[in-house]
Amino acid sequence: MTIQQISVFLENKPGRLADVLLLLGKKDITIHALTIADTSEYGLLRMITGDIQRAVQILKEQEIACNLSEVLAISIPDKAGESAVVLSALDKAGISIDYMYAFSRCEDAIMIIKPTNINEANKVLINNNVKFISQNDL
């Protein structure tokens, strides 16, 4: 089961990230998860929002470069070593991870994963009884 994630390309200058987050906040778009990576010239904001399509529309109306991609969202127990179990199952199947980010939520942890082969990763995780999280459950 995949969910959609927005990737936003930002000029690497002070205030740019805050500008985007304020824009979405003023339009009542909730952000459930985000991560940011940067280089000397630009930043890449990846996020999952409460209303993905509307968030993309708002960003594009402001001429902010963004796109949608499919990722996997899974729930694991928030205990030491649990993420390693999941990643080991993918590794044994020959599936690499392009990137991932995670956060704790009460008694579980949520992992957002972008594998090299999302369909195969989906099968491996299903076969390992991993619990998937839907867009609405975030």
- pLDDT (tens digit per residue) in 114-126: 999 999 999 999 9
Nearest to 124 by CA among 99, 96, 90: 90
Residue 84, pLDDT > 80, answer: yes
Nearest to 52 by CA among 11, 7, 19: 7
**62 near 42, Cβ under 8 Å?**
no
Instruction: Please tell me what DSSP assigns to residue 130.
Output: P
Q: Could you tell me the residue range of the domain that residue 43 belongs to? A: 2-68
Domain membership of residue 49 (yes or no) is yes
- Ranges of H-type helices in 27-81: 52-61
**26 near 92, Cβ under 8 Å?**
no
Residue 129, pLDDT > 90, answer: yes
**44 near 38, Cβ under 8 Å?**
yes
**22 near 4, Cβ under 8 Å?**
no
Domain membership of residue 27 (yes or no) is yes
- Token pair for 126: 């299903």
Domain membership of residue 138 (yes or no) is no
Residue 137: the pLDDT is 84
Q: Within this chain, do residues 64 and 76 fall inside the same structural domain, yes or no?
A: no
Residue 128, pLDDT > 80, answer: yes
- pLDDT (tens digit per residue) in 7-66: 999 988 888 899 999 999 999 999 999 999 877 778 899 999 999 999 999 999 999 999
- Token pair for 50: 């409460």
Total domain count for the chain?
2
CATH number at residue 124: 3.30.2130.10
Residue that is written with structure tokens 């949520």 in the block: 110
- Token pair for 20: 């985007």
